[in-house]
Amino acid sequence: MGIISNDISRAIEILTKGELVAIPTETVYGLAGNIFNEDAVRKIFETKGRPAFNPLIVHIPSIEELNKVVSYIPEKAKQLANAFWPGSLTLVLPKKSSIPDLVTAGKSTVGVRIPNHPITLELLRRLEFPVAAPSANPFNRISPTRPGHVADYFEDSLEMVLDGGVCQKGVESTIIGFENDNPVVYRLGAISVEDIQSVVGTVEIKNKKEQNPEAPGMLLKHYSPRTKIIISESIPADLKAYDREKIGVLSFSKTYNEALVKVNSTLSPSGNLEEAAANLYQALHDLDSQNLTLIVAEKFPEEGLGKTINDRLQRAAS
Ligand code: TXA
Ligand code: MG
């Protein structure tokens, strides 16, 4: 496809002149621009159709660069950074005054992470500035986990998608802020709460907008396919209840061979939650293109990445 390319040098040129490039990360593809170029940051919001109140995540290549972006790092933030970076953890910390207000939507804090993808790490090391990168999907749509998803969304408005293959984690980073120096989960993500707690002890979870106006992006409706989607506690019962619909089933490990199912999409036949998370958005993209009238998604176990998957399914179903 036309705009997909693996030419890192060209990505550097485009970003340096203030245009946008979609970049691979281990979570999802990001829509990247120079944080210090106001036009580039504006283009990110315009291209996504993203409301201006929703701040962007800054991507850096190394822990040394963190001091250029934030003004204060609580002890537990250092522990988390050392444990999980490069990786799927975003820390929300007080920003340096040099970080433009447009990037943080006027907030005094900035979200920052070191992504764990070899191509993007090389890109970030070679750039002379950090990039801001929200997920490379139009506002409210499903996040992209393959270069083709981004090209389908933005073929007409984007110069380049840097090809890094399929995203290994497949769901967005876990976002952690600090209240009185204690970590609070603002968004469930690719690192499980259990793994976070193994490093810093018990953490509070405030990933709903009502619980936390500090995380303006946690809108109830999000990550949505066009097709109507419901979450099911019992798939056989819902297949009966909705027997007039053209149904796609999104399940954890089982398939439903009944005559009532048009498409079965099983996220992990072996019952592995990491694998299920990695396949979630691709499955939603696929189901959404099959002319179904209803997606029946199985409720996942509330543990490990099952919590993250349920969070995304609930937002998709809202
Ligand atoms: O995995 C990811 O985090 C991906 C890849 C591309 O890095 N990025 C991503 O960005 O998911 P985005 O923009 O789709 O989601 C960023 C979330 C939003 O909900 C936003 O509100 C929150 O991070 N956020 C960013 N800065 C924040 C801040 N200073 N305070 C609170 N929330 C913040
Ligand atoms: Mg997003």
Tell whether ligand 1 has an atom less than 6 A from the beta carbon of residue 28.
yes
| pLDDT average, residue stretch 84-111 | 97
- Ligand 1 lined by 120 (C-beta under 6 Å): no
Read off the pLDDT of residues 278-315 as tens digits, 9 standing for 90 and up: 999 999 999 999 999 999 999 999 999 999 999 999 99
All structural domains of the chain, each given as residue ranges with its CATH number in brackets, are: 4-205 (3.90.870.10), 229-317 (3.40.50.11030)
* Ligand 1 pocket check for 38: Cβ under 6 Å: no
| pLDDT at 104 (0 to 100) | 97
Roughly how many angstroms between the first and final C-alpha of the chain, as a whole number?
A: 33
The DSSP annotation for 242-308 comes to TTTS-EEEEESS----STTEEEEEES-TT--HHHHHHHHHHHHHHHHTTT-SEEEEEPPPSSTHHHH
pLDDT at site 193: 98
Q: What is the pTM of this model?
A: 0.96
Instruction: Kindly give the distance from the C-alpha atom of residue 215 to the centroid of ligand 1, in angstroms, as a whole number.
Output: 9
Ligand 2 centre distance from Cα of residue 306 (Å): 19
